[in-house]
Structures are given as C-alpha cells and as structure tokens.
Structure 1
C-alpha cells in the first residue's frame, strides 16, 4: 500500500506538503514546496532496505523525484530529522542525484559517539563529512521564500529536530504520533521520556492552527488507512498520551511502561551504521561487495 496525499497551501507563506507512505516501515516522507517560487525540500526520504536479503532499492526516491518533476518543483534541500532506527535514509542517494545540500541536527555527532561503542567501530562515523549542514536549535534557512526554523526536539533520540516551515507547518518526526495513537517511543540509546515530554510541550506552544506532520503511522483497528496530518489544537486536546494537560510524571510512567513492551525495529542494527553516514553504503571490499557489522547479544 504505497500512496501519497497532498496538504495544500493555506495561502501566502504556507507550504504545500505531500506525504509519501512507505509501507515497509510505516514511514512518511515529505516533499515540502513553496508555491510562490516552486522551490522545495524533501524530508526523511526512505531508501528501500530488506533485512532478509540486505538488498537496497530506490523506489521511494524515484517516485518522489518524479512527482517533484511533474509538479515543476526544484528541490533545494535534502533534510532529515534524526538518524532513523527503522528505515535506511536516502540522503546520500538524493545528494548524489541532485547535487543539493543535505542536513540533519548537530547532535548526530553525540549519537555517533554512542554507536561507535555499540558497533565497536572507534574510527567510524564522521557526520560532518557526510552532511553539508548540522543544524543547531534555533537555526534558520529558507525553502524558496518560506522561512524555516529548526527546533531541537530530543526524547525519541537525543538529537531529534523539528522543522517549522512557513506560517503553518511543522515536521515533528518521531515525537508525536497521530492523536489517537499518542507519542513515539523514547527508549533508544540517548532517548528519555522526560525529554520527550518537554519537546512535546514546546511543539504544543506553536499556534493552534499549525499543521503537524508526523514521521510514522500504521493505522488502527478503527482507522485502517494510515494518516499523518493533525494540528497543534487537535494534539493538545486529543492526544492519547499527553492531551488535556497530562503531567510530566504521568507521561513518563505511561511512556516507559509502554516502551518496555516494544521490541527493537527489525532494521535497526543494519541501518543505524549507514544512517550515521547519511545512508552512504560502505565501500566495497576486495571481492567487490560491501558489508555491515552487526553486534551480537548486545541488545
């Protein structure tokens, strides 16, 4: 079930947002466009990866680039919100094709330090060489004429960031889920439920009409088709974990209890050592093939 859905611009200063659903990982990838200038950015695009065969594919990349071309959009930025644990990021592949800058939050350097130990690869991962921009909290840039502000939003990971675009859109990665689902897990190395709560509160301080675009949805028994757009007002009132003024202590208890029931994503140990390199595959060895290193009995 691979499909897309467009949230139209609401007027001057408001982006058009198209979300593309990746069925294999439940991820939503975004094409964000300034209708006034036809300039655009992509956010959290997925490079296909099979954990069974360790094979990669570019189906999502091809689909999104075809859509941008048909719409007459020129992509200026290749953006990610964090080094994902459940899918392989397409940042390097997009940079290779488009020759445009790629970016992520600056705290990826601290995440890389953690994972050098887990992989026992002390000289691995130099995010500054694989990403053109490492954004700090409060940094700004533009997509066409649309201003973009970077918000540090830790909790799911210590380096997660949100992108607030134009007058009414925010890309909040794996912090909020849809209101009927709640929030994202906070048990990955470097993540904490308390920090996630504070990040959620900062997002909820945005104007009520701000459209919030989440990183994942899987549907529910009552809502079988995935969705990914809500508003600040909807999340504040109806979010299953944090709506209606839930306290920090109550949220932490709920989130940590929930996280104890979750297994690791099936791609996590494969893709993190690539995502810390913007999705760049390892160099081929003497036999012409590239290889991953997987820690045994570590998690």
Structure 2
C-alpha cells in the first residue's frame, strides 16, 4: 500500500532543494528542560512559525515566567517576522508550553495533531479532571491530520502523524526541513521513550522508518538534546541521512523486533520526567493553566501512587 503522504513530503523536499527556496531556522535552547524551540521562516515573505515553545516554571515555588518566550518574541520582532503558526509536535511531558503567551503578543494559529483528543481522554482520567474539561481538542485553534498541507509564506509544508512516543505526535515538514518533536534524537543519543500512556515501541519504530523515507539531505530539527556520552555540546540539528546511517538505536539494519526489545528494556530503567505531572495538566489545555478556584488561584494536581 502506497503511503501517499510521505510521497508528497518527499516531492516537497526535493522541490525545495532544487529551487533553493529554503526556510531559515533559529533555535532557542532551554537547558533547564533540554528543550529546543524553533522559529522557522520564509526569507522572502518573512512569514514564520514557532515550534514547541517553553514556559519557564520553577516547581518548588510554583512560579512561572516568560524569559524563554520573550527571547523568541524579541527575535521575531528584530527580524521583522510575522508569526502565522504556533506548532506543537505533541503534548510534552518535560516542559510546559508557552504558546498562549506568544500568541497573545505575536498572533498565529495554535496547532496540534488531532490525536490530542486521545491524550486528553487518558490524562483526564489520571488527573480526575472535572466534567467541564473538554476532551475534544477545542483548546487549540486547529487540529491537524496526517498528510494535511499548509504553507509558510511561499514555502510548502505538510504534517505527518508519527505516533509511538505518544499517540498524538506530529512531524512538520517545512520546505527541506522536518521538525520531529521527540520521535528522534541526535544519532549518538537515539530515540524517544515509548512507555508513557498510549506509547508503543513498535509504533515508534514504524513512525521512524516512515520519516527515514525522506531524502537524505532533509534537515532534521529535534525538540530535545541531552548530550550523549563523550559529547560536550548540545546539538539539535542533523539530517535524515545521518539518522539512517548512524542512529544508535534505529539505524538501517535494525529490525522492529530488535528495536522493540531494546526500547522496552531501556524504558524500564528510566524514571519519570521531572515535570511530567505539571506539564501534562497544562499542555493538554494548549498551554493554559487549570481554571482558577474560588480564591482566584490555579492549582496543579499531584496524583499519589498512581503512575
């Protein structure tokens, strides 16, 4: 069965490389959460997207701030960009999104994959959300489907559903660049875990193999880097060719059974991400805090002995 969506993505990358109309990418790395936020724009029209923004959150005090987002905003303004899109690759478990703040200042349409509804359903039960919590994705401006096309100025883009880490993971192919969220890490670090609710190592393997059909020169931008052993710098950009030949978990020649066995054994040794409980309560709400209680204060829950 032909995967027409990946074929469209391949044609898009080839056309972008041939025309040399390539998006410009500027990355902001938040070392506290090891998160890369990407600002990508069309250099001819100056239309831009912000991908996977970060809300600064001090867990011991419960205080939030916007230094990371303000750096993005300052860059956008200095470069004279217009933000059309605020793209989330998935509902993150390791940082809180600051998309609503950036949207308030710069505008743009807030987008996530349509399977966010599945994630909302799972975590609404875990956090015992009230009946007023919508599980239909309506907190976001647009729910995007596998193969759905859009544009960034004059540059073609397509969304690809790449589940496995979570059911809702999306990769965004913009010109010759693909923004993969947590699906892949740098070749020397490997791949995302697949043991969160709704995750599946076999599904992750198939999603990665789908992405690896993109042309070798395709630029790959990651959501995280944790510094592999013997590497001193954080890095968040690679290529499909480098992932195919060098990814320590899923390079060419590794089959699905081998990957699943490795991934499940490795995941069994990993602790929960430090910010998973606050992050998911906020991120399933599109970056908004829970409704304030009668004293005007928003609260995040800490379910005991559940996860």
Same fold (TM over 0.5): yes
8 Å contact kept, 1:116–1:125: no
Alpha-carbon deviation of 1:250? 0.2
Q: Do residues 37 (structure 1) and 48 (structure 2) align? A: no
8 Å contact kept, 1:93–1:280: no
Match of 1:193 among 177, 201, 209: 201
For 1:285 and 1:98, how far apart are their aligned partners in 2? 29
For 1:129 and 1:242, how far apart are their aligned partners in 2? 35
Match of 1:225 among 201, 224, 233: 233
For 2:88 and 2:138, how far apart are their aligned partners in 1? 16
For 2:234 and 2:136, how far apart are their aligned partners in 1? 32
The residue number in structure 2 matching 1:244 is 252
Alpha-carbon deviation of 1:290? 1.2
For 1:146 and 1:182, how far apart are their aligned partners in 2? 30
TM-score, structure 1 normalization: 0.94
The residue number in structure 1 matching 2:161 is 152
The residue number in structure 2 matching 1:79 is 87
The residue number in structure 1 matching 2:107 is 99
Q: Do residues 116 (structure 1) and 119 (structure 2) align? A: no
Q: Do residues 134 (structure 1) and 143 (structure 2) align? A: yes
For 1:178 and 1:76, how far apart are their aligned partners in 2? 28
For 1:85 and 1:218, how far apart are their aligned partners in 2? 15
TM-score, structure 2 normalization: 0.91
The residue number in structure 2 matching 1:5 is none
The residue number in structure 1 matching 2:10 is none
The residue number in structure 2 matching 1:6 is none
- Secondary structure of 2:55's match? strand
The residue number in structure 2 matching 1:13 is 21
- Secondary structure of 1:129's match? coil
- Secondary structure of 2:50's match? strand
For 2:253 and 2:210, how far apart are their aligned partners in 1? 13
8 Å contact kept, 2:84–2:107: no
Seen in structure 2, the aligned counterparts of structure 1 residues 258 and 104 have a Cα distance that, compared at 3 Å, is same
Seen in structure 2, the aligned counterparts of structure 1 residues 263 and 90 have a Cα distance that, compared at 3 Å, is same
- Secondary structure of 2:137's match? helix
- Secondary structure of 1:111's match? helix
Runs (5+) with no aligned partner, structure 1: 1-8
Alpha-carbon deviation of 1:12? 3.1
For 1:195 and 1:246, how far apart are their aligned partners in 2? 15
Runs (5+) with no aligned partner, structure 2: 1-15
